[in-house]
């Protein structure tokens, strides 16, 4: 598959790019608001992968460039910019493109991280409302700690909740998650369930912040 990671220069974008390039044959494209930043990130990922004896070709370009014709795009940008970015690239998406969102709106307070959803109930639902026709939005990867996932030596042993109404697209994203060694996709329901999934991230961050030796927490269902 052609997977475009918009905002692929950032933390979760890097983690997913490295892992997909390491464990799969998918064709990865790194998107950014600026070509230079995308090119530099792509170079960094290729260099990291070369240290693991993986010769990867990772494309790069502006978010618009890489989204055009992609089978799936990941909106790997801060939550409050995800809808604007989706609207910006909407005209270059082809019918059938899957939009994957890992984004979670939250606030940091003295008492811990607090989930801060839009009035639709979740960011995933908001993006689904904003998506062009024949483009499905699937929520996934919200609880993955980017630093640990980007460390190709790390044993992950983590689950990721996957939510969405289009069951075919949902299955594709579960497949993409399961192809990363150490990650298991868990069906967490339709879009209406996305708020519950997104709310797990501030919970993990609060626990990590308050508990020794619990950095980079993920979720594992047993």
What residues line the site for ligand NAP (CB under 6 A)?
A: 7, 9-13, 32-33, 37, 76-79, 81, 85, 102-104, 141-142, 144-146
- Least CB distance from residue 10 to ligand NAP, whole Å? 2
* Residue nearest to ligand NAP as judged by C-beta position: 10
- Least CB distance from residue 53 to ligand NAP, whole Å? 26
- Least CB distance from residue 76 to ligand NAP, whole Å? 5
Tokens standing for residue 101: 């969102």
How far is 147 from 128, CA to CA, in rounded Å?
A: 28
Residue number, 129 or 168, with CB nearest to ligand NAP: 129
Q: Buried (b) or exposed (e) across 199-214, using 16+ Cβ within 10 A?
A: bbbbbbbbeeeeeeee
- Least CB distance from residue 51 to ligand NAP, whole Å? 22
**Tokens 């989706």 identify what position?**
86
**Tokens 């055009």 identify what position?**
68
Residue number, 81 or 184, with CB nearest to ligand NAP: 81
Nearest to 149 by CA among 14, 11, 15, 54: 15
Residue number, 145 or 195, with CB nearest to ligand NAP: 145
Residue number, 32 or 97, with CB nearest to ligand NAP: 32
Rama region for 182: left / alpha / beta (φ>0; ψ in -120 to 50; rest): left
- Least CB distance from residue 205 to ligand NAP, whole Å? 9
Residue 83's contacts (CB-CB under 8 Å, 6 or more residues apart) are: 123, 126, 127, 130
- Least CB distance from residue 216 to ligand NAP, whole Å? 8
Would you say 104 and 198 are in contact if contact means Cβ atoms under 8 Å apart?
yes
Residue number, 134 or 152, with CB nearest to ligand NAP: 152
Beta strands in 158-218 (DSSP E): 158-162, 183-187
How far is 115 from 199, CA to CA, in rounded Å?
A: 6
Would you say 179 and 165 are in contact if contact means Cβ atoms under 8 Å apart?
no
Residue number, 127 or 172, with CB nearest to ligand NAP: 127
């Amino acid at each position: 598959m052609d997977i475009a990671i918009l905002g692929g220069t950032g933390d979760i974008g890097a983690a997913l790019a490295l892992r997909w390039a390491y464990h799969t044959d998918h064709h990865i494209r790194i998107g950014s608001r600026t070509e230079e930043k995308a090119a530099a990130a792509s170079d960094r990922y290729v260099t990291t992968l070369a240290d693991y004896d993986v010769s990867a070709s990772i494309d790069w370009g502006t978010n618009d460039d890489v989204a055009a014709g992609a089978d799936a795009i990941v909106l790997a940008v801060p939550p409050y910019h995800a809808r604007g970015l989706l609207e910006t690239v909407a005209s270059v998406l082809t019918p059938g493109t899957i939009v994957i969102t890992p984004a979670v709106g939250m606030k940091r307070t003295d008492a811990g991280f607090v989930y801060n959803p839009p009035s639709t109930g979740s960011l995933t639902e908001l993006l689904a409302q904003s998506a062009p026709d024949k483009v499905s939005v699937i929520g996934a990867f919200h609880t993955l700690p980017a630093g640990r996932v980007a460390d190709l030596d790390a044993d992950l042993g983590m689950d990721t909740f996957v939510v969405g109404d289009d069951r075919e697209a949902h299955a594709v994203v579960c497949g993409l998650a399961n192809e990363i060694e150490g990650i298991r996709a868990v069906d967490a329901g339709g879009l209406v369930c996305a708020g519950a999934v997104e709310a797990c991230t501030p919970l993990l961050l609060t626990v990590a912040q308050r508990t020794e030796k619990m950095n980079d927490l993920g979720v594992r269902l047993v």
